[in-house]
Structure 1
Amino acid sequence: MERAIFAGGCFWCMIQPFDELPGIHSVMSGYTGGHVENPTYEQVSSHTTGHTEAIEIIFDPELISYKDLVELYWQQTDPTDAFGQFEDRGDNYRPVIYYFSEEQKRIAEESKQALQESGRFDKPIVTTIEPAETFYLAERYHQDYYKKNPANFERNHARRAAFLKENW
């Protein structure tokens, strides 16, 4: 198994597209990239810890490639917005691809370059590619949120879904 960590706004909205793919062992909500150990949702939301809301994916590379995951990641975010995603504003919602190896870094950078050169977006692709740091699991009530709270998930997901439909 291998790991991938992606940040792209509210982690509630990031889980579902990855969760349903063959080769995915687990997708968990959490926090990474900050300077506070074991942060809480309230701490991360205060914009004082440096963490992003992110998802950690454990996957079988024999069944799904890291490249495939990165390509799906782009389709879940607005890669031109460095200050949050959709309704979610602030540094804890910034788009980041975290890498665990030089190979993951190369794949992410090549994919980002290809997206920029595609002309799909009029603005620059600002998603950062950073080394993976400690991933802290979010509180239990954040896990599988889209399954446990489908009506609230759909309401929160509406703007993201409209953007994605228009741009992808």
Structure 2
Amino acid sequence: MTETAIFAGGCFWCMVSPFDQQPGIESVISGYTGGHTIDPTYEDVKSQLTGHTEAVKITFDPEMISYADLVEIYWQQTDPTDAMGQFMDRGSSYRPVIFVQNEEQRKAAEASKYLLQSSGKYSKPIVTTIEESCPFYEAEEEHQEFYRKNPERYQQEKVEREVYSTKQKMGQV
């Protein structure tokens, strides 16, 4: 029996690979969620007018990898102190959100967020929101498994994200 997890943390191109490569993951789908437009396109979401954020929907085997483990992987991919984007991706369509499917996921996400805030790792507050899941709309085929289909562009995005993250930690952004 599988379960799903939905995470938003900036550009979905960079959110697939860290999850896709874990044992127990059946699929990682790029898409849009959290907004008011039905069946939005990439261009619609990019306009910042749909209320949607780019996200990934992960189907996983909870006997091989737990939801709590997925949340821990999620924190390593995002800047949980930046409510209006992630790294060089700016705007509400890149906001960090954990979309929970049920009360168990909510408790796990809230406990993990509390531990992260209490850890002292960040001097700013953790602003990632934990919200009820909404309809999830799959992104166009060209956005699925982007890291495999466009390895050079993916590496460029990944490096830019890492550079931005380093500058951000040093207070240069």
Q: Same fold (TM over 0.5)?
A: yes
Q: State how far apart, in whole Å, the 1-side matches of 2:162 and 2:151 are.
A: 14
TM-score by length of 2: 0.93
Shift of 1:156: 1.1
Counterpart position of 1:75: 76
Shift of 1:157: 1.2
1:23-79: CA deviation from partner (whole Å, max 9, x where unpaired): 000000000001011000000000110000000000000000000000000000000
Q: Share of identical aligned residues, percent? A: 61
- Structure 2: 5+ residue runs without aligned partners? none
Counterpart position of 1:128: 129
| AA in 1 matched with 2:27 | S
Q: State how far apart, in whole Å, the 2-side matches of 1:145 and 1:114 are.
A: 32
Counterpart position of 1:33: 34
CA RMSD of aligned residues (A): 1.3
Shift of 1:159: 3.1
TM-score by length of 1: 0.96
Q: State how far apart, in whole Å, the 2-side matches of 1:21 and 1:35 are.
A: 32
| AA in 2 matched with 1:96 | V
Q: State how far apart, in whole Å, the 2-side matches of 1:135 and 1:53 are.
A: 10
Q: State how far apart, in whole Å, the 1-side matches of 2:96 and 2:114 are.
A: 15
1:8-157 aligned within 5 A: 8-157=9-158
Shift of 1:161: 2.8
Q: State how far apart, in whole Å, the 1-side matches of 2:88 and 2:155 are.
A: 13
- Structure 1: 5+ residue runs without aligned partners? none
Q: State how far apart, in whole Å, the 2-side matches of 1:79 and 1:158 are.
A: 19
Question: Per the alignment, in what secondary structure is the counterpart of residue 56 of structure 1?
Answer: strand
Shift of 1:158: 1.1
